[in-house]
């Protein structure tokens, strides 16, 4: 349990500020996260990592010479927004291009990919390598679907060392991809973790049992076994990884990471490592520079993971290379000149000028603000239930993320309204704020939805019912394009697409928007309920698919809730196109 915090919604921002204040020798705070304090050499490749907060020393603690050049820091267990990733990359890049590398989670993929598109559009060459080391999260035949856990460290270490050696982006990304392809991890847990402000753990493990194959966001394991001794735990970890050995074990050399997830401390890890070392020696494997301690944590989760990086000559050179970060030291790196350290200065946020809007569109914007406030209220009222649904097979943070996003959207809408924004501008600002504040998959998707609605409605004309129906249809298409989810994957797409089709049908039949939306909302609710019979094929719930049978998808439930709330607002007041 996290004992020391103020407002839970401010936790990530406050820890970032405190971290940067504590380690000015290594890092400086920038919008979205932190970057190296020292100015990089011109032409250097910038290695940018990031993810949800709550995993320290990943990700900010691994920024410094020999490792990452910057880290985008999302909310607790939620991916950073595309805006955060873009801002950190822009602050760290030095003309040699950008490598984005992060754990392979749906929200991270969405947000880092959007940031990559923006960087490329701005003329900054950018390549992505997602870390996929966790063997418990997908079979070897679908290794591209695996999530990234403590093996992140191996990939970041190799990429950072290669970049600092002066290699170009092609070589840095090649080495990062090679390190990822030769890294395997497996973990176990004995108890769950509790987020700041929460009173219950994200998951629990029965007394005397352990969860096998747990994730670092509170995802439950793939099975439960009796609580092991330290030697039995070592044997399970080693045997599981050797079943997927990258090459013939005898004669191999490996980098090794024995990682504590927060509540298992170094003394216990040394007891476990004693047996791991014996087992690897018996298998004919030489361990090179083992790393034992807390590398990728999950608050106070009681758990441990083992990662093996199967080395060749190239990888061993970078694995052994010097590094110096707030949380990771190896060898001796060249100290930066004090003159090269960029001073931390306060930056006043700039407010972009609003595009022109008509009086009609401004009236519609006021209605949209009213609807967003109602959406926030219904999310606030259901935040615990949404979290409970999400915790069945996920990490339990869907309600909190939606709450943060809705609150940010309302705040941005109010500011835009006060400045005289039209409907398009207000929706775009609200969508950007939702995506930025919520982070994660739901933040990215709801940001897309509001942005798509805004682009279709414009800042001049009153939106017609066909225009609104078309915008909803476009939002569904865009989410499937970017998020890769299809009907039947047990996501919010299973509500949004049927709702869009029903809304379009009702509008085509000549119904006004309020009546058409209300009728289509019935389809949305039925579709959300029907996701209880589906097995997830996307995101963090996929490895625990069977556990979710009988429970609807949290994203589908929140989508249906919001659709019903909008229907209520449209029927209690005049339609936004009246």
Residue 219 DSSP class: P
Output phi, psi for 141, to 5 deg.
Answer: -70, -15
Q: Residue 209: beta bridge partners? A: 226
561 vs 564: CA distance, rounded Å: 5
3-state secondary structure of 448: helix
Nearest to 423 by CA among 368, 382, 370: 368
Sign of CA dihedral 477, 479, 480, 482: positive
Of the candidates 293, 296, 291, 297, the residue with the CA atom closest to the CA atom of residue 330:
291
**Residues 535, 536, 541, CA angle at the centre, nearest 5°?**
125
Query: What does the alpha-carbon distance between residue 467 and residue 457 come to, in Å, rounded to a whole number?
Result: 7
Q: Which of 438, 436, 431 is nearest to 453 (CA)?
A: 431
In this structure, are residues 459 and 356 in contact, taking their beta carbons and an 8 Å threshold? Answer: yes
Which tokens is 292 given? 């034992």
Q: Are 154 and 255 in contact (CB under 8 A)?
A: yes
- Find the distance separating the first CA and the last CA of the chain, reported in whole Å: 51
- 213, 303 Cβ separation under 8 angstroms: no
* Helix 398-418 vs helix 423-438: crossing angle, to nearest 10: 150
User: Two tokens at 42?
Assistant: 């011109």
Q: What is the DSSP letter of 462?
A: P
Contact 269, 277 (CB under 8 A): no
Per-state percent for the chain, helix, strand, coil, to nearest 5? 50, 15, 35
Residue among 217, 369, 398, 436 flagged as catalytic: 217
**Angle at Cα 92 formed by Cα 91 and Cα 98, nearest 5°?**
120
The number of angstroms, rounded, from the C-alpha of 157 to the middle of its chain's C-alpha atoms is 20
* Partner residues linked to 260 by β-bridges: 304
CB 544, CB 393: distance < 8 Å: yes
Verify whether residue 505 is a known catalytic residue: no
Nearest to 170 by CA among 161, 179, 158, 162: 162
> Could you list the active site residues?
217
């Amino acid at each position: 349990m996290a004992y020391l915090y103020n407002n839970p919604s401010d936790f990530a921002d406050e820890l970032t500020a405190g971290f940067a204040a504590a380690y000015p020798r290594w890092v400086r705070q920038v919008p979205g996260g932190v970057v190296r304090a020292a100015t990089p050499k011109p032409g250097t490749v910038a290695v940018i990592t990031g993810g949800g907060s709550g995993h320290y020393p990943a990700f900010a603690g691994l920024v410094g010479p020999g490792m990452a050049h910057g880290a985008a820091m999302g909310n607790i267990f939620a991916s950073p927004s595309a805006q955060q990733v873009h801002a950190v990359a822009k602050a760290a890049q030095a003309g040699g291009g950008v490598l984005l590398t992060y754990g392979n989670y749906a929200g991270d993929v969405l947000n880092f990919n959007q940031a990559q598109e923006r960087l490329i559009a701005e003329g900054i060459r950018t390549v992505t390598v997602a870390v996929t080391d966790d063997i418990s999260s997908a079979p070897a035949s679908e290794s591209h679907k695996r999530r990234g856990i403590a093996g992140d460290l191996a990939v970041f270490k190799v990429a950072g060392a290669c970049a600092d050696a002066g290699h170009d982006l092609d070589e840095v990304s090649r080495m990062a991809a090679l390190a990822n392809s030769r890294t395997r991890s497996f973990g176990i847990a004995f108890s769950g973790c509790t987020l700041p402000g929460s009173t219950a753990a994200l998951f629990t493990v029965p007394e005397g049992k352990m969860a096998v194959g747990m994730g670092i966001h509170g995802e439950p394991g793939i099975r439960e076994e009796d609580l092991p001794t330290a030697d039995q735990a070592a044997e399970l970890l080693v045997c599981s990884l050797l079943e997927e050995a990258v090459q013939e074990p005898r004669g191999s050399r490996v980098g090794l990471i024995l990682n504590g997830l927060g509540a298992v401390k170094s003394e216990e890890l040394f007891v476990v490592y004693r047996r791991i070392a014996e087992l690897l020696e018996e298998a004919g494997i030489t361990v090179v520079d083992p790393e034992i301690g807390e590398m990728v944590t999950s608050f106070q989760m009681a758990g441990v993971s083992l990662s093996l990086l199967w080395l060749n000559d190239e990888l061993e050179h970078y694995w052994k290379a010097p590094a110096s970060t707030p949380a990771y030291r190896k060898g001796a790196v060249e100290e930066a000149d004090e003159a090269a350290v960029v001073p931390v200065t306060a930056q006043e946020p700039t407010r972009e000028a609003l595009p022109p809007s008509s009086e009609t569109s401004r009236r519609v914007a006021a209605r949209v603000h009213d609807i967003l406030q109602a959406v926030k209220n219904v999310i606030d009222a259901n935040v615990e239930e949404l979290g409970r649904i999400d915790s069945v097979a996920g990490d339990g943070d869907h309600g909190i993320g939606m709450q943060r996003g809705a609150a940010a959207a309302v705040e941005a809408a109010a500011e835009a309204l006060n400045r005289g924004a039209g409907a398009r501008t207000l929706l775009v600002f609200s969508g950007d704020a939702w995506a930025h504040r919520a982070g994660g998959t739901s933040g990215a998707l709801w940001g897309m939805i509001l942005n798509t609605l805004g682009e279709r409605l414009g800042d001049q004309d009153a939106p017609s019912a066909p225009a609104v129906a078309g915008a909803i249809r476009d939002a569904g298409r865009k989410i499937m394009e970017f998020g890769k989810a299809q009907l039947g994957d047990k996501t919010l797409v299973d509500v949004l697409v049927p709702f869009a089709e029903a809304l379009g049908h009702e509008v085509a039949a000549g119904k006004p928007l309020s009546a058409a939306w209300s009728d289509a909302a019935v389809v949305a609710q039925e579709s959300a309920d029907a996701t209880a019979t589906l097995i997830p094929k996307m995101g963090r719930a996929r490895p625990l698919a069977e556990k979710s049978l009988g429970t609807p998808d949290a994203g589908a439930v929140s989508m249906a809730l919001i659709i019903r709330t909008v229907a209520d607002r449209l029927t209690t007041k005049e339609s936004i196109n009246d």
